[in-house]
Structure 1
């Protein structure tokens, strides 16, 4: 296990909300000892004392689930260095020390190439690892080039392209539910499943993240990585094992089976939109273009939806719809597996049987099976829902990812060929959207999103 972690971009939102609390969780669970060293680097001209004060404030805000002594131990282990990630000398001063180091690039993706080059010139100690946040690259070409730079720096097994969705307990239960239950696996195919929706709709707006989000948008921020990874777990063939190679090989199979989107497909099967002024709960929300830090000329979308087909025996004829939006009226974060209706219902005029839907709730984490029942003393259909709440995980998602990095287990990270394949899927969408071939629709903040388009998703075959 590596006992040194260096975070570049350490004063940002990612460190405050996720990395520092994740480390506190690891300390509380006994995974980090007194010898753990945390070096935090950023452009701010701070010293150790100021950084530790800032870190204490952030942990008091975002890490209260973990004991005070664990939080204090992480703060005490931290030292701060002012460093420019583009300067190899600065980088060398941050990673200096005995033994290998795990380097976490909590930076905008545009900085990844120059950061990797600086690390190469600074000289990483043997056995070191590098962690990159999503999105990995900005398009296919940049992802291929970034993979080339990384291959010259460290072996592939030392590269962690992290996606914290993969460490969520419900996400892992997608696999568990499929593969460990005989009642599901025989019907986990297009004969029985009509549609799978993978949705991350949220009431949150930018929350001060315009400097990042306005250059990325919903498609790159959510669909290209998080939602495509969920698609892989839902649709993959059963792997021989859940080991790193077997699992990631089967995920790659899914991405390679996605039917390429033609120009007409992009127009019919994708949507983009951004929010107008509105009201969410008890707060008024300005239009996206009026949010601080937004450049209206970028025409960044805050809502993205894409409909995919898989060319393989298991899923031919099933529609996969991936959707994410901000500033919506309600949070909806789930994988919804919609089964086909039964061929015949022998209940006279009881009405139409409701479709069976298996829902994997992502936030909060739960599972629900929607069934159809018969009302008491009647022959009319009534909905039934069986819900299972998940036991709280031992570690938060980022705690699990950090532990995997320090232990050198890349199973829940994204392999280089996976990252490139995901960009290939979206390349025609990015091209069409950048050329305004797909209209940029609008929706009021606090609504359900853009109005339904008719006809939508025609010719699903």
Structure 2
């Protein structure tokens, strides 16, 4: 059972808190994962009292609760909640916050979750430090930072310098909710708990690897943030490069936090730098235009509220990367993400090479298909292994068949990524949180692309909403027979 602590959530009235954090806390309560001495203090600017906050949380949690809400669990959960109104940019309010915590005699162990805009991370930490709320003389202090960490490599460096004045690295929890997803962790289990895969997991047998994250939604209410960020920063730098690291890293010495993070850093540092002259050969961007998604007509990105009418911010981004180490030399890694696509889907697809001699090619019209391993990350949690087998009958004719494992749990065993991550903060387990050198290495990968795109403000390619992205992205492939794979089924798009 995790130890007692005071969980202070800044930006508690915002979208992330209401749709993810509070439901996650509720489910931890439901599964008896929190000790009685865990308190949850919401920080907001609204003039609410505790009762108003509790009613607001109930309304947010009710539609998200797996298996519905029970009175007993709800009462236990609400007994943990409190609300404190303050201005996060006002230093004096932090002294009042400290007094409020001490007056209630809450646990000295404290976790501060900064569900704030990235420009507010440093001021909030500085004010916490000046109020002596980060000193560990009477208990541990941990700060959780939501993405993005910086805007590029240089801004991430400057942010880290400001944090270093008040926080040790051991106190800093840079959260990436993707790493809390069950299937993301299953990638590691599949790789390192199954000996039969290790001899095949290298350049000798793998043709290429794809990582795709597709969303069937527009930018929505995030337009103000998104138009200054774009798909490369929002998804690839912060999430999908983490998937790349888990798929391609060397086996860690142990599953301890630092051993695991050491291997991810080494992998990201092995990504071949993209030279300015190669940006257009290794990266592609586009914006969604008008179209139809899930049977409904939707506007173009430039027509969304809050978007600059001359914006060239990408809602689709694709990358081709190479990893210059012994295992992966010469193997292309293709990464793509896009909004307003036909379905929500995140998959990791590994395509293997053809056998050196295809004995059965002459006996059939169609060329034999390659083997694939496809990991469904979300919404379907699955592993699919595609093999060639003989068709029933007298003739030797082959067909593609598959071994499928669906790994999504039932109501009692399924969980949201934030549940595990919130719990890990209390436990002090940093395995699924990012170290600064890991963040720095990820920015180093994408910075040359972002710099090139920032100077190209006259034109950006478009793709119809409801399609699987721009045709031009196919130019990234090394060979004509390579193609984007969006489905768990064998057909490429």
TM-score, structure 2 normalization: 0.89
Q: Does 1:176 align with 2:189?
A: yes
What's 1:262 paired with? 275
1:371 to 387, 403, 414: 387
Could you tell me whether the CA contact under 8 Å between 2:424 and 2:430 is conserved in 1? yes
Q: In the alignment, what sits opposite 1:92?
A: 95
Aligned residues of 1:275 and 1:327 also touching (Cα < 8 A): yes
Per the alignment, residue 444 of structure 1 pairs with 464
| Distance of 1:148 and 1:74 partners within structure 2 | 38
Asked if structure 2 preserves the Cα contact closer than 8 Å seen for 1:28 and 1:67, the reply is no
Equivalent in the alignment of 2:444: 424
* Residues 66/251 of structure 1: CA separation in 2 closer, same or farther (3 Å cut): farther
Change (3 A) 1:339 1:426: same
Q: Which among 59, 63, 75 is matched to residue 65 of structure 2?
A: 63
**2:167 match: secondary structure:** coil
Mean CA deviation greater in 33-42 or 229-238: 33-42
* Residue aligning to 1:213: 226
Aligned to 1:285: 298
Residue pair 2:94, 2:127 contacting (<8 A) in 1 also: yes
* Match of residue 380 from structure 1: 397
Counterpart position of 1:121: 130
Given candidates 264, 272, 291, the residue that maps to 1:251 is: 264
Unaligned runs of 5+ in 2: 481-493
**Partner of residue 86 from structure 2, selected from 83, 88, 95:** 83
Query: Which structure 2 residues correspond to residues 7-406 of structure 1 after superposition, within 5 A?
Result: 7-65=9-67, 67-68=69-70, 69-95=72-98, 96-97=101-102, 98=106, 99-124=108-133, 125-126=135-136, 127-347=140-360, 348-350=362-364, 351-363=366-378, 364-377=380-393, 378-392=395-409, 393=413, 395-406=415-426
Structure 1 residue 227 displacement after superposition: 0.4
Q: Could you say if the C-alpha distance between residues 177 and 64 of structure 1 is closer, same or farther in structure 2, counting changes exceeding 3 Å?
A: closer
Following TM superposition, the consecutive aligned residue runs of length 4 or more in structure 1 with deviations greater than 4 angstroms are 457-460
CA RMSD of aligned residues (A): 1.9
What displacement does 1:160 show? 0.5
1:384 to partner: Cα distance: 0.9
Aligned partner (choices 412, 427, 431) of residue 411 of structure 1:
431
Stretch deviating more after TM superposition (421-430 or 112-121): 112-121
Write out per-residue CA displacement over residues 377-398 of structure 1, whole angstroms, 9 at most, x where no aligned residue: 2433322121101152454210
Contact 2:283-2:320 at 8 Å conserved across structures: yes
Count of residue correspondences = 460
Cα distance in 1, alignment partners of residues 252 and 10 from structure 2: 36
